[in-house]
Amino acid sequence: MPDVRRIAERYELLEQVSHGGMGDVWRGYDAVLDRPVAVKLIRPQAVTSPVLAEEFEKRFRREARITARIQHPGVPQVYDAVLDESYEQLFLVMELVDGVPLTAYVHPERPLPVGWAVAVAAQVATVLSYAHDVPIVHRDLKPSNVLVARDGTVKVLDFGIAAILRTDVTKLTATGSPIGTHQYMAPEQVRGSRVTPRTDLYALGCVLHELLCGQPLFSGDSEFQLMMQHVNAAPPPLRQLRADVPEQLEALVLHLLRKAPEARPADVQEVYERLLPFLPGPGDESAPETAVPAGAPDPTGVFRRPYAPRSRAGGAGERPAADAPAPAAPVAVPEAEREELRERIREVHAHYRALMEEERYAQAAEVAGEMIEPAARALGSDNKVVLGLRMRRAVSRQLAGDHRAALPEFEALADAYARVNGPGSHEALDSRAQAARCRGELGQVTEALAGLRGVLEVVRAVDGDVSENAVELRRDIGMLLLAQGRAADAFDVLEPLHADLCVVFGPDDELAAEVAETLAMIRLDLDGARPDSTAPRRQ
């Protein structure tokens, strides 16, 4: 396996995702639970002595534990908190969210639809209501800390980070470079006064204002000037910047942006109630306006279809059919680069094998998957090396229990191998069989049976009834019939299979014994319905 940085003998840092004033975010991996994680490396600013380090560690762990108490799907789970022995870096290990920050959607020339912006704000308000009940004040709410996931749900990041680092103690008279995000900082934060839940309401007003008009509330040439504006300047009314904003929504934003905390809405629940008239109702199937960036998620969906089930396979919201490259010819690559690519592929194979031996299947799938696109670009998407990488990813996804992801991969591989090696090739048939097994695991038993029987018909014609593949297929077909409640049909498949296994491998063979146990249970279930089959078979 390649050298990677590991913390707490458990979390591997794989790729830096973002860099900010409070620290860096890495895509990481939990080697114990075989799952991807986000690791936030935080650089404390004031740890200058062992005494301060000890105090900082206590504060860090206390705040991390409090943050972990926010029980809401809009808050990424905190899995672990680690402070290194030097006290120079601390790490928050969290749920890895597949989403895009609001900053990606804010543009002064392309205002977001009012419904889209309000739906995001309403979801943030819901999250804040759970946090304020703990109570936790976010202190650094801003567009870059709000992600919109692929399904339109909103995730609020970095709860407790500002409290851990005490970033709300910056005053106008402070010297040096202050810590914090001044474009969203409430007047009481700037002054260094006590923060309350209404501090987050001011920041929410800043965020909603920016979503609706495409630019920050205030702009200045310096951080000091920005802070002064938050303390003294009147916010520009939204309808002067964008005429189609409803009057009541403008009034709410101006209420959120009042200078005195006590002059703002009483709580975040009031804010949510005032946003409701601008949200779609349950059952409303209207799509968001066309001004939403192409491919952007729809945050109104959670209100239009609350507690909706997962989309059906192949429907909206599912991942692409196989997440794999379409057939394409290779791009001309210099020999030196091709040799470098071969070496990278060898390293990936070695890394993959090591992870599989450790039963870290989900990570093994990622490792193989990262190499597919560059290999396909250089070698062609139907090259055997590329197909091998895709097969590795599919197998490891299947072993990780992610049958929903493995199914389209195996189906695409079956088509690719049929093109390259022929529909009756071992690779094409194996891919078809694995796809059918995935369908069985997903409860699509009828489709799974049809797939396995189709493969068995070809295997029988080529290799006979007791080849390794045929035996496994016959066993799987019998078990699927049993899962459907078709005990008699399962018996008709498994009884001759058991007889064949006993003849070829002997009654003590592991699979023969397994099938014998299943037959014994079926006999009990049939309860005399088949008297000719209930007597013990003579081997």
CA 317, 318, 324, 327 torsion-angle sign: negative
Distance CA 41, CA 36 (A): 16
- Give the burial class of 535: count Cβ atoms within 10 A of its Cβ; 0-12 exposed, 13-18 middle, 19 or more buried: exposed
Among 140, 200, 298, 430, which one carries the catalytic annotation?
Answer: 140
Taking the C-alpha atoms of residue 77 and residue 65, their distance in angstroms, rounded to an integer, is 11
Residue type (1 letter), 533: S
Query: Three-class SS string for 17-45?
Result: EEECCCEEEEEEEECCCCEEEEEEEECCC
> Token pair for residue 523?
């006999």
Angle between helices 468-483 and 426-441 (to 10 degrees): 20
Nearest residue to 409 (alpha-carbon basis) of 379, 385, 387, 426: 387
Rg of the chain over all Cα atoms, to the nearest angstrom? 30
Q: Is 158 a catalytic residue?
A: no
Q: What is the DSSP string of 85-138?
A: TTSS-EEEEEEPP-EEEGGGT--TTSPPPHHHHHHHHHHHHHHHHHHHTTT---
How is residue 147 written in tokens? Answer: 């992600």
Contact call for residues 135 and 275 (beta carbons, < 8 A): no
CA pair distance 409, 395, nearest whole angstrom: 9
Residue with tokens 């279930």: 525
Q: Would you please indicate which residues are annotated as catalytic (active-site) residues? A: 140
